[in-house]
Structure 1
Amino acid sequence: MRWENFFDDLEGQLAAEWEAERAALDTEAERLRLSRVTLRERLAMLVDREGDSSVPSFDLIDGTVLSAEVTGVGADWAALDGGRSGAMIVPFSALAAIGMPHADVLRTARPAPARSALVERMSLGFIARDLVRRRIPVTIHLTRGRALSGTIDRAGADHLDIALHEPGTPRRASEVTGHRIVPFSAVAWIRLEEGATLG
């Protein structure tokens, strides 16, 4: 009788040790998976998020705080919809912090679904060239706090040219007050003219 209790006790200890070892391996595997998650993947998980939770906030390097929903994510930028504030493009390099409900923090850390290869290659330059093609007036907020309003005339590999004119007016030679070349590294965020969208 004592031997039965002894073997039952040993069996229980062995099962507990195996369970502890399996839990430790699962924890280590999860840490390894999380170490490979990118900011782009986490932001992509916020696109079309459901629920009535509060809107995420984005602290930018120019000191601006934007409350907006993520509507798209490219190679190095996120498209935001600030409601009445309109559509915005924010380079990842301009993000200082992102505030969101704890449920969204946890959800964005889950494995992300596969994305199209085209979206993975859509850089800030790609989006700037689309804005050139569509002649959408913008306001470019620089990392130093200054804002430039006008229309993007050209977009290179790492910079853009903007013709400056008053917000809300079309780009006409008579309305242009100057031109600037802006490196992408100096862009904190871009606000599109009211009613304009990406795509």
Structure 2
Amino acid sequence: MRWDRFFEDLEDQLDSEWEAERAALDTEAERLRLSRVALRERLVALTREPRALGLHLHDGGVHTGRLVRVGADWCALVGDGPAGAVLVPLWSIGEIAAPVDALLGSVRDAEAGAALGQRMGFGFVLRDLVRRRIPVTLHLVGGRTLDGTIDRAGADHLDIALHEPGAPRRTANVTGYRLVPFGGVLAVRVASASDLA
């Protein structure tokens, strides 16, 4: 009888040790998985979140809205009001404010997303704005803004024709031109969210 109890105790200890080892391995596997999760993948998961979040940029600016698209190195927010949409290059994001359950869900559901989205870089989406002649407001490093229409978007820069917001891009309305490196762009605001569709 004593030996039966002794062996039962040994079996219980062995089961406990195996459970502890399995839990440690699961924890380590999760740490390893998390070490491979990129910001872009978490943003893809946040596009499924219906609530607004805040993108705090390096210059102190904050853009609030629902995350609707994520490209290779940019994301797009749509606000609740008539404010339109904002394209934000990932390099300009300083922090993201979101409800804790959304942040935890973005870790759990992180994924690369559609193959096309993974390939669409910031220059690609700007070239689409060039093609469609959509007026924009560029928010630049240093707090300046430029209103106008992007004429060209190269590999790492853009040309913008400056004109009053809401005015069409006509030669008579253009007040100047600027060449802007992508690294100087913190955000690009378009007047209507449908312009990004």
- 1:79 paired residue number: 76
**1:107 aligned onto 2:108:** no
* 8 Å contact kept, 1:132–1:153: yes
Q: Is the 8 A contact 1:136 1:196 kept in 2?
A: no
Indicate which of 54, 58, 69 corresponds to 1:57.
54
For residues 15 and 48 of structure 1, what CA distance do their matches in structure 2 show? 41
* Between 36-45 and 76-85, the greater mean CA deviation after superposition: 76-85
Distance 1:31 1:198, change over 3 A: same
For 1:82-161, list aligned pairs within 5 A: 82-84=79-81, 85-113=83-111, 115-161=113-159
Question: C-alpha deviations, 1:126-180, integer Å up to 9, x for none?
Answer: 0010000000000000011000000000000000000000001100100000000
Given the alignment of the two structures, is residue 191 of structure 1 paired with residue 189 of structure 2, yes or no? yes
Q: Which residue of 1 aligns with 2:39?
A: 39
TM norm structure 1? 0.95
Residue pair 1:88, 1:192 contacting (<8 A) in 2 also: yes
Deviations 1:94-131 (A, max 9, x none): 00000111101110001435533221110000001000
User: What's the offset of the Cα at 1:62?
Assistant: 1.8
Per the alignment, in what secondary structure is the counterpart of residue 150 of structure 1? strand
Once residues 102 and 34 of structure 2 are traced to their aligned partners in structure 1, the CA distance between those partners, rounded to angstroms, is 15
C-alpha contact 2:41 2:112 (8 A) present in aligned 1: no
Structure 1 unpaired stretches of 5+: none
2:30 aligns to what? 30
Count of residues in correspondence between the two structures: 196
Q: Provide TM-score, normalisation by structure 2.
A: 0.96
**Structure 2: any 5+ residue segments left out of the alignment?**
none
Q: Which secondary structure state, in structure 1, belongs to the residue aligned with residue 173 of structure 2?
A: coil
SS of 1:68's equivalent in the other structure is strand
Match of 2:13 in 1: 13
Classify 1:17/1:195 alpha carbon distance in 2 versus 1 (closer, same or farther; 3 Å).
closer
In structure 2, the residue corresponding to 1:83 is in which secondary structure?
Answer: coil
Check whether the contact 1:45–1:108 (CA below 8 A) recurs between aligned residues. yes
In the alignment, the residues of structure 2 paired with residue 4 and residue 16 of structure 1 have an alpha-carbon distance, to the nearest angstrom, of 18
